[in-house]
Amino acid sequence: MHNKTLSELSAALQAGEFSSTELTQSYLDRISSLDPQINAFVTVTQQLALDTAAAADKRIAAGTAAPLTGIPLAQKDIFCTEGVKTTCGSKMLDNFISPYDATVIENFNAAGAVMLGKTNMDEFAMGSSNETSYYGPVKNPWDINKVPGGSSGGSAAAVAARLAPASTGTDTGGSIRQPASLCGITGLKPTYGRVSRYGMIAFASSLDQAGPMTRTAEDAAMMLNCMAGFDERDSTSAQRDVPDYTANLNDSLQGLTIGLPKEYFGEGLDAQVGSAVEAAIREYENLGAVVKEISLPNTHLAVPTYYVVAPAECSSNLSRFDGVRFGYRCDDPADLEDLYKRSRGEGFGAEVKRRIMIGAYALSAGYYDAYYIKAQQLRRLISDDFKRAFEEVDVIMGPTAPEPAFGLGEKSDDPITMYLSDIYTIAANLAGLPGMSVPAGFVNNMPVGLQIIGNYFDESRLLNVAHRYQQVTDWHARTPEQFK
């Protein structure tokens, strides 16, 4: 059961091969026996899952099932789920039971999908290795001494270890694509505004975007069909129709123009990762695509720009965690100031505090123009690079991450090196473009991801491009030995 894709599971449920209750129970069993090895889940919602599965079985029997009815899913613990603990990987929210559902969760509930539990993540989605979580690091199912990437590390590891057929993630600077790459699964960050952010705990509002983390591109299309759409509760969500993302998966790639930014293949890229990506590109040429070298000249500015914009927004977004209305409150506060200082001092981890301080500094009087305003200008330059590129090419390809998964603890004391893990993914967030990571090989037995960046709202094409590749390769179908 656990080796089937979403479309296979959906078909099997409809055909009555097994029930959603059986399927859900089988995943719950796997989680209970295997998750202790990788720590992918913060909360397992066993009873809720079985209740939802029973309801899904009735719906299937009644013939009113949607494609995801009865399918078990893992939800990143950044999405608010009514009546269920929603921690965002932080001590600050260890006691927080959300009084409402995020729009993404509502959409899955309406479709009859089953939530298995909430997945581990870097604290408030700030991290690239899942080591900043209050609930301990997630381990990479391909090698439990290595990181799964972050911040959606729990979601990536859960899918890679077959503890869930699919999961959700969020991506602010690469938090879907980089862990997908490091765990050998498929991850899609949609165009900014494609999926509602309502109920998704904000890290950097102008960059955050939710998306699917799955085994295949086809599964990602099925998930995106359910997640995408305008939401009147999110002013930044796009008022655009949602196409059927599964409709064009098999379109021919004959004549597709692929841009290869020379800046993505230079210094800092692991040579073997580079070779794997080049091999994938050759596969595309075999499928009829045309390759063109392009330049994104402001690429080197992406990381510094991001580390002003994202902390600035987070310093404000995280002000609501003050110990007054919900979340962690220190013991015996002496006065109001003490309540604030100790609740936040004790409730937040080091990386979160670092970013709040960077952000508050960048926004403060006298520095605002030099940092925040300058970063906004650079953001425009970075977007313009892509705008020019998409006049010439249909998609842009390159590595998702500069190297395969690194060792646990290897970079946790060196924030700058850690930040460079997202060097190829950050630009798409700054520009608001959709990006995917698909498994494209292995280096020293660790997975490597190919990144595909598309034009605005061109998710259908990204999925089509990824799907055709997956029809002729089997990297995405491989399973870590211990989790077969």
Partner 1 sequence: MEWEVVIGLEIHAQLATKSKIFSGASTAYGAPANTQACVVDLGMPGVLPVLNHEAVQMAIKFGLATGSEVAPRSIFARKNYFYPDLPKGYQISQMELPIVGEGVLEIRLEDGTVKKIGITRAHLEEDAGKSLHGESPGMTGIDLNRAGTPLLEIVSEPDMRSAKEAIAYMKKIHSIVTYIDICDGNMQEGSFRCDANVSVRPKGQEEYGTRAEIKNLNSFRFVEKAINLEVERQIDVIEGGGAVVQETRLYDSDKHETRAMRSKEEANDYRYFPDPDLLPVEIDNETIEAVRANLPELPDAKLQRFISEYELSDYDADVLTSSRPMADYYEIVVKASGGEAKLSANWVMGDFSGTLNKESTDIKECPVSAEMLGGMIKRIADNTISGKIAKQVFEAMWQGEGDADAVIESKGLKQVTDSGAIEKLVDEIITNNPGQVEQYRSGKDKVFGFFVGQVMKASQGKANPAQVNQILKDKLKP
Please tell me whether residue 171 binds partner 1 under the rule CB under 8 A: no
- Binding segment (CB under 8 A) for partner 1, from list 43-51, 90-98, 265-273, 300-308: 90-98
Q: Which two tokens stand for residue 454?
A: 């598309």
- Whichever of 5 and 119 has its CB closer to partner 1, that residue is 119
| Residue 89 touching partner 1 (CB under 8 A) | no
Binding window for partner 1 (CB under 8 A); candidates: 13-21, 193-201, 294-302, 461-469: 193-201
- Beta strands in 332-467, from DSSP E residues, in sequence order: 395-399, 435-443, 446-454
Alpha-carbon gap, residue 359 to 17, rounded angstroms: 53
Pairing between strand 290-294 and 257-261? parallel
Span 382-411, contacts to partner 1 by CB under 8 A: none
Task: Examine residue 191 and tell whether it contacts partner 1 (CB under 8 A).
Answer: no
174 Cβ neighbours under 8 A, 6+ residues apart: 128, 400, 401, 421, 422, 424, 425, 426, 429
CA distance 303 to 173: 9
- Can you give the length of the chain in residues? 484
Under the criterion CB under 8 A, does residue 200 sit at the interface with partner 1?
yes
Among 37, 46, 205, 383, binds partner 1 (CB under 8 A): 205
Q: Does 43 bind partner 1 (CB under 8 A)?
A: no
- Letters for 3-42 (x = contact with partner 1 by CB under 8 A, - = none) are ----------------------------------------
- Torsion-angle region of residue 149: left (phi > 0), alpha (psi -120 to 50) or beta? left
Number of residues that bind partner 1 (CB under 8 A): 44
Rg (CA), the chain: 21
Tokens describing residue 473: 């390769």
Of positions 39, 43, 75, 86, contacts partner 1 by CB under 8 A? 86
Among the listed residues 197, 355, 379, 476, the single contact to partner 1 using CB under 8 A: 197
CA–CA separation, 8 and 274 (whole Å): 33
CA-to-CA dists, residue 320 to 313, 379, 445, angstroms: 13, 27, 43
168 burial level (CB within 10 Å; 0-12, 13-18, 19+): buried
Verify binding: residue 83, partner 1, rule CB under 8 A: no
Q: According to the binding rule CB under 8 A, does residue 168 interact with partner 1?
A: no
- Whole-number minimum distance, CB 385 to partner 1, in Å? 21
Least distance (Å) between residue 319 CB and partner 1: 2
How far apart CA 434 and CA 390 sit, in angstroms, is 13
Q: Which of 90, 152, 167, 175 is catalytic?
A: 175
Binding to partner 1 in span 357-386, by CB under 8 A: 360, 363-365, 368, 372
281, with CB counted inside 10 A (0-12, 13-18, 19+), is middle
Count of CB atoms situated within 10 Å of the CB of 12: 16
* Residue 411 annotated to the active site: no
What single string gives the DSSP state of each residue in 56-118?
Answer: HHHHHHHT---TTTT-EEEEETTB--TTSB--TT-GGGTT-B-SS--HHHHHHHHHT-EEEEE
Which is catalytic among the residues 76, 139, 146, 411?
Answer: 76
Residue 254 lies near partner 1 (rule: CB under 8 A)? no
Catalytic (active site) residue 343: no
**Residue 233 or 262: which CB sits closer to partner 1?**
233
Of the candidates 233, 209, 268, 183, which has an alpha carbon nearest to the alpha carbon of residue 78?
Answer: 209
Least separation in angstroms between residue 77's CB and partner 1 is: 11
Per-residue binder mask for partner 1 (CB under 8 A), 233-252, x = binder: xxxx----------------
Q: Would you count residue 335 as binding partner 1 (CB under 8 A)?
A: no
Is 76 assigned a catalytic role?
A: yes
372 or 469: CB nearest partner 1: 372
Interface stretch with partner 1, choices 3-11, 156-164, 170-178, 356-364 (CB under 8 A): 356-364
| DSSP states of 222-271 | HHHHHHBS--TT-TTS---PPP-TTTTTT---TT-EEEEEGGGGSTTS-H
Window of 165-173, 311-319, 427-435, 440-448 that interacts with partner 1 by CB under 8 A: 311-319
Q: Which of 19, 128, 129, 151 is catalytic?
A: 151
Query: Using the rule CB under 8 A, is 308 a contact of partner 1?
Result: no
Four-residue CA torsion sign, 387, 388, 391, 396: negative
By CB under 8 A, name the one of 23, 53, 68, 93 that touches partner 1.
Answer: 93
Contacts with partner 1, residue ranges (CB under 8 A): 79-80, 86, 88, 93, 96, 98-100, 102, 197-202, 204-206, 232-236, 312-313, 315-316, 318-322, 324-326, 336, 340, 360, 363-365, 368, 372
The residues that are catalytic are 76, 151, 175
